[in-house]
């Protein structure tokens, strides 16, 4: 719907939260976003509306108007930053004296923790 309607719903929601639940709606975090043109951020995900202009192929229809979750690019960069310097893989001197098995096990546990959180995203492989 139009932006004015969204603003009205947001005001009603803020009033309900304040009066009934004694909660405050954060103005800087509660943004109204145009779903077709830009993604919305929620719990570390980008929420998008998927669009595809290609024709029907192999008896399957193109995905159009479905909601999708993505991992934001800034999150990917932030999560990979501890493992890189100047865009290249970098050593972690704290693990230098460990044997190979413990190093691989440590990296695997860190990787699994990140991937498990973003498992719902369509592009978790990025």
Mean pLDDT (whole number) for 19-39: 87
Share the mean pLDDT of the chain.
87
Q: Is 110 helix (H, G, I), strand (E, B) or coil?
A: helix
15 has a pLDDT exceeding 90: yes
Q: Where are the domains of the chain?
A: 1-31
Mean pLDDT (whole number) for 73-86: 91
Q: Are 39 and 89 in contact (CB under 8 A)?
A: no
41-70 pLDDT, tens digit each: 888 899 998 877 776 767 676 677 788 899
User: 118: which residues sit within 8 A by CB, 6+ positions away?
Assistant: 44, 45, 71, 75, 124
105 has a pLDDT exceeding 90: yes
Mean pLDDT (whole number) for 14-42: 88
Q: Poorest-confidence range of 13-27, 50-64, 111-125?
A: 50-64
Question: Model pTM greater than 0.85?
Answer: no
């Amino acid at each position: 719907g139009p932006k004015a309607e969204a603003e009205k719903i947001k005001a009603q929601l803020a009033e309900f939260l304040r009066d009934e639940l004694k909660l405050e709606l954060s103005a800087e975090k509660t943004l109204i976003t145009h779903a077709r043109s830009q993604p919305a951020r929620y719990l570390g995900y980008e929420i998008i509306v998927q669009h595809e202009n290609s024709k029907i192929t192999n008896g399957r229809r193109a995905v159009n108007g479905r909601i999708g979750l993505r991992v934001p690019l800034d999150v990917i960069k932030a999560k990979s930053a501890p493992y890189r310097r100047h865009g290249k893989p970098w050593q972690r001197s704290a693990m230098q004296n460990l044997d190979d098995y413990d190093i691989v096990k440590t990296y695997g546990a860190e990787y699994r923790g990140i991937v498990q959180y973003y498992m719902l995203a369509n592009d978790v492989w990025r």
